[in-house]
Each structure stands twice: as C-alpha cells, then as structure tokens.
Amino acid sequence: MYLSFVSQYLVKPRTVGAISPSSKYLASKMVQDIDFSASSYIVELGAGTGIFTDQLIEKRKKGTVLLVIEYNAAFYKHLKEKYQDVEHCYVVHGSAEKLSFYMEQYHLPYADAVVSGLPFASLPKEMATQILAVVQESLRDKGKFITFQYTNMKKRMIEDFFPKVKVTREFRNLPPAYVFCCMKK
C-alpha cells in the first residue's frame, strides 16, 4: 500500500496531502483522547490507508458505529475491501462536505468523535471552512474533533469553530505532525 500511497500523492497531492502514510505513533496519538466507553458514533474523514481506522475499530466498544468517508477513489476501494466484514463499519466514497447527508443515510444522530486526516493546509479556504462547520454541527455537546496537520498554519481557522483546542506534537511521524484535539462546547 505504501507505493500506492506515494503514487496517489504524486497524482493528487491536494487530496492526499503527504508523501508517506501516517505512522502508528501518530495513529495512537490521534485516538488517545476519545472516550471509547462513552462513544456510540464515530466518524473518520479522509481515512487514506486506514491506519487511524484500525485503531478506531480496535478500541471502540461493541456496537459503536464507525462511519468512514474517503474522497480518493483508490483509497476508498482499498478501505471498502479491507473493512467489508467489520460489523458496524461503513465506508463511503464521498466528500467530507456532505457529512450531514452521510450521517443521515447511515442513521447517525450525532458524532461523539470525528477523526480527520484531511489536509486542511492544501484545501481551498471555502471548502475547509465548510467542512469545519459541518463537523462542528455534527458533534454532540462535548464531542471531540481530532485532526492533524504538518504546521500550525490552520490553527486559527480551526479555533474559529472550536475555541478549546489542545495541540500536541508527534515527532515519530514523517514529517512530524501537530495533533489538534478540539472539543465542542
């Protein structure tokens, strides 16, 4: 899958956002602040090769619904095949901007957590703000939005939607990444 990841980056850098897949260390940091015992509905945006998805499936409680949305066709096909037999895991080929539609389609009344691998720094500003708005609307009170970026450049934009943002750094990723854990009021 690594060669496929690199080829997708070369062909579609705006939708992939990095030259290599996320590390297991970044995956662990991305899910560490989720209260899995109290989460019934989890959404993942931009799952890529599924490194965060694997962690979400492993840690979720029995019966928790996981909705995975992937825009890149090659990654979607890989994820659909990889998770086809996983109970309560739905993989959608689509855009994060349509999160509300997909949640309604799969009967998610809200999200306890939204985990994102989307490259906000390379998305058009209008699209990025639309995604952040729909994520904020989809979260239950005190729900968490967790994303990572390679710079702090989009922190202010994220804070426009989530005033309470905890930032940590994962150096054991190529390149090192900032993890933003945002809580809905």
pLDDT digit string (tens) for 131-160?
999 999 999 999 999 999 999 999 999 999
Hey, where are the domains in the chain? 23-183
- Mean pLDDT confidence for 40-57: 97
Residue written as token pair 């939204």:
114
Q: In what order do the strands lie in the sheet with 139-149?
A: 89-93, 65-70, 41-45, 111-116, 139-149, 177-183, 164-170
- At 127, the pLDDT band (50, 70, 90 cuts) reads very high
Q: For the domain with range 23-183, which CATH number is right: 3.40.50.150, 3.40.50.300, 1.10.1740.10, 2.60.120.10?
A: 3.40.50.150
Residue written as token pair 């390379």:
122
